C-alpha cells in the first residue's frame, strides 16, 4: 500500500520552521472549525476529538484552538468554510486526490487548476481517480521514539502490537511503522496501541492507493515540485497520490 497523507509526511519535516508551523496551524484551524459545526463537545463529536488530538500533538496554541472552535460553532464571525474534494492527474499520469477546506470554492478550484497546469497535470472527472484508492485509517509510529533501541526485535514487537490492536495491515517506511485500519476502527486501534504503551506520531483518515506506481528520477523531481506547490496552498488541506513512496 502507498499514498498515505502527504500533509502528515511533510509537516513532520517542516514543523520546526516558523513559517511552515504557521501554515500547519492554519490547516488545523480550518479542520477544527469544520468539525465544530457538528458540536463543540469532543466526547460526542469524534471528528472534532480527532482534529483536537492532532492539533495538540503539534503543540498548536490553546488560544488558536479555542478561536477555531468558536468560529466553527458560529460564536465569532468568519467566512463560511466548506469542504471540497478534487481528483487530478499529475506528471507521468500519477493519480492525485486533493482534500480542501475553503471559503470560496471558485477561487480554490482556479488555484488548483493553475498549480496543476504549471507542473504538467490536470483536473480529472469525478470518479476517474478515486477508484484507484481505498479509504483507510492510517497510524504512524516512529520506531526511534519507542522505549527500546531500534532493532529487528523491536520492529517485530511493534508489528505484533499493531496486529493485536486490530490493524488491518502494516508496512515499514524507513524507521516508521505505518499501520492501516478500517476507517471506522481508527480510533479503537489507536487507543489499543496507546494502552500497550506505543507512542503514536500521527493518525488520520487517508486515501490509500491500491497499487503504487514507480516514477523515474526526472519525473519524480517534477512530482515533488508539484507536491511542494500543493503544500503551499492555503486551501489544500491534504493530498494523496499513487506514486511509490
Closest CA to 39 of 27, 49, 24, 25: 49
Q: Note whether residue 141 is domain-resident.
A: yes
Q: Note whether residue 191 is domain-resident.
A: yes
pLDDT of residue 11: 47
Average pLDDT over residues 65-72: 94
> Which pLDDT tens digit goes with each residue over 110-161?
999 999 999 999 999 999 999 999 999 999 998 765 555 545 658 888 999 9
- pLDDT at 77 exceeding the cut of 80: yes
Q: Note whether residue 193 is domain-resident.
A: yes
Q: Note whether residue 187 is domain-resident.
A: yes
How confident is the prediction for the chain on average, in pLDDT?
A: 87
Phi, psi of 108 (to 5 degrees): -65, -45
Q: Note whether residue 107 is domain-resident.
A: no
The least confident of 49-63, 108-122, 149-163, 165-179 is: 149-163
- The CATH number assigned to the domain holding 190 equals 3.30.70.980
Number of domains in the chain: 1
pLDDT band at 6; cut points 50, 70, 90: low
Q: Note whether residue 109 is domain-resident.
A: no
Q: Note whether residue 175 is domain-resident.
A: yes
> Which pLDDT tens digit goes with each residue over 185-205?
999 999 999 999 999 988 889
> Which pLDDT tens digit goes with each residue over 200-213?
988 889 999 999 88
Q: What's the burial of 235, exposed, middle or buried (CB within 10 Å: 0-12/13-18/19+)?
A: buried
pLDDT band at 36; cut points 50, 70, 90: very high
- Rg of the chain's alpha carbons, rounded to an integer? 18
pLDDT of residue 14: 46
Amino acid at each position: 500500500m502507498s499514498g498515505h497523507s502527504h500533509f502528515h509526511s511533510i509537516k513532520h519535516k517542516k514543523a520546526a520552521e516558523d513559517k511552515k508551523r504557521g501554515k500547519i496551524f492554519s490547516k488545523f484551524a480550518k479542520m477544527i472549525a469544520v468539525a465544530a459545526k457538528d458540536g463543540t463537545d469532543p466526547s460526542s463529536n469524534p471528528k472534532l476529538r480527532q482534529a483536537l488530538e492532532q492539533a495538540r500533538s503539534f503543540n498548536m496554541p490553546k488560544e488558536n484552538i479555542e478561536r477555531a472552535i468558536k468560529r466553527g460553532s458560529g460564536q465569532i464571525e468568519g467566512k463560511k468554510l466548506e469542504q471540497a474534494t478534487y481528483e487530478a492527474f499529475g506528471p507521468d499520469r500519477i493519480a492525485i486526490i486533493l482534500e480542501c477546506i475553503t471559503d470560496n470554492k471558485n477561487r480554490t478550484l482556479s488555484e488548483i487548476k493553475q498549480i496543476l497546469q504549471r507542473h504538467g497535470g490536470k483536473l480529472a472527472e469525478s470518479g476517474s481517480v478515486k477508484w484507484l484508492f481505498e479509504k483507510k485509517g492510517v497510524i504512524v509510529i516512529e520506531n526511534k521514539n519507542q522505549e527500546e533501541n531500534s532493532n529487528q526485535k523491536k520492529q517485530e514487537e511493534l508489528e505484533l502490537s499493531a496486529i493485536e490492536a486490530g490493524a488491518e495491515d502494516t508496512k515499514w517506511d524507513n524507521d516508521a511503522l505505518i499501520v492501516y485500519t478500517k476507517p471506522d476502527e481508527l480510533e479503537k486501534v489507536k487507543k489499543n496501541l496507546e494502552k500497550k504503551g506505543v507512542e503514536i506520531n500521527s493518525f488520520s483518515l487517508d486515501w490509500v492507493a491500491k497499487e503504487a506506481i514507480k516514477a523515474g528520477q526526472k519525473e519524480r523531481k517534477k512530482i515533488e515540485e508539484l507536491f511542494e506547490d500543493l503544500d503551499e496552498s492555503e486551501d489544500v488541506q491534504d493530498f494523496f497520490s499513487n506514486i511509490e513512496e
